[in-house]
Amino acid sequence: MLFVPLGAALAWAGLGWRRTWLIGAAFSAVIEYAQLFVPGRSTSVADVCSNSLGALVGWGAIVVLARAAARAERPPLRSTLAASALFAGIVAFTGYILKPSFVDAPYFAMWTPSLAHLEWYRGHVVRASIADMPLPSAQLASTARFRQLFANGAELDVRAIVGPPVQGIAPIFTIYDDVGREILLVGPDRANDLVLRLRTRAASCLLDQPDLPALGALNGTRERDTLSIRVRSTGGAYDVRVNEDRRRLGFTAGQGWALLKYPESFPQILRSLLDFAWLAGVALPLGFWGASRRGLATAAVTIGIALGVLGPAAGLLATPPAQWVGAISGVLLGAATREFALRRRRR
């Protein structure tokens, strides 16, 4: 993905696909060689192959857009409708793929587990339950009943004693299945944030998935304080109460990028920028193939229906204003790109 802009720039400069591929491969090889001398990094021929492929994808995108702009001064209606269907389909798919998917297998609850890929939380759990079903640190008595209770909106209640501050995600309470798949995780992330993570359909399809952070939910808690965490599913979203702090957590349409790769270490401001950029990129074809009054009106209606109706119907939270701006910016950028390509073609 990082090499796509390089390929696009080389295509815009007039280079052919062979030279673009060679430059991408050479640049990637230099980076991989340099990583031999960087502690903690590894070198891989597969990275060179994927990076050079990314350069070719960027080259192909520019060639396709330039040829499409040259074929017609006014985009055909079928292209506008296809771009509209693509945008609406991606939003609906994001909501569908991020729904919970609890596998049918024996479940094991774990209190403050020590896991190799996560930090160990040095507080301790006093008790955990869902409705009237206790959840001791052991195999659950009835996996089916747990799934039914959680799906029907029963409240997961975890009481714990606060431990020392952590530098990353540290689970207080988790549920795993018998083959080591994470089903549910609740725990602090860094100093003051709480993270809720549930297995979704994305994980079942071998895609990545974002977690659900409650930013600042642990503000005011100190080591050895009593901590109450209550989680309840409410039709695609989750009510999370941390002591007296109450949040409504869920996914939004802009988080579709996280299905490809979700870096847990990214700060929230960078994740928000990626949400903005994702919707801008998905909406760009709407502007490119709708660069007329009729097309732009179709784009506006499509964005309104997709983000205002389809997203919530698919279980997504209401789209934040910044993500609306991202989608509109993508339409305007697409229209400007088509106009620029036409002028360059005429010259």
Whether the pLDDT of residue 72 is over 60: the answer is no
Percentage of the chain surpassing pLDDT 90?
56
- Residue pLDDT, tens place only, 25-67: 999 899 888 888 877 677 778 888 888 898 998 888 888 777 7
Token pair for 101? 């998917």
State how far the alpha carbon of 69 is from the alpha carbons of 6, 62, 79, 84, 328, in Å.
21, 10, 12, 18, 21
Q: Give dist(CA 289, CA 85) in Å, integer.
A: 12
Q: Considering only the top CATH level, what class is 107-250?
A: mainly beta
Whether the pLDDT of residue 73 is over 80: the answer is no
Question: Is residue 330 within 8 Å of 84, Cβ to Cβ?
Answer: no
What pLDDT is attached to residue 264? 80
The confidence band for 129, taking pLDDT boundaries of 50, 70 and 90, is very high
pTM reported for the whole predicted model:
0.80
Percentage of the chain surpassing pLDDT 70?
96
Whether the pLDDT of residue 345 is over 70: the answer is no
Which residues 6+ apart lie within 8 Å of 114 measured at CB? Answer: 120
Ordered by start, the domain boundaries in the chain are: 1-71, 73-98+252-347, 107-250
Spell out the SS3 assignment of the chain: CCCHHHHHHHHHCCCCHHHHHHHHHHHHHHHHHHHHHCCCCCCCHHHHHHHHHHHHHHHHHHHHHHHHHHHCCCCCHHHHHHHHHHHHHHHHHHHHHCCECCCCCCEEEEECCCCCCCCCCCCEEEEEEECCEECCCCECCCHHHHHHHHHCCCCEEEEEECCCCCCCECCCEEEEECCCCEEEEEEEECCCEEEEEECEHHHHCCCCCCCEEECCCCCCCCCCCEEEEEEEEECCEEEEEECCEEEEECCCHHHHHHHCCCCCCCCHHHHHHHHHHHHHHHHHHHHHCCCCHHHHHHHHHHHHHHHHHHHHHCCCCCCCHHHHHHHHHHHHHHHHHHHHHHHHHHC
- Residue pLDDT, tens place only, 52-61: 898 998 888 8
Question: Is residue 342 within 8 Å of 288, Cβ to Cβ?
Answer: no
Which residues on adjacent β-strands are paired with residue 80?
A: none
- Residue pLDDT, tens place only, 294-306: 778 888 999 999 9
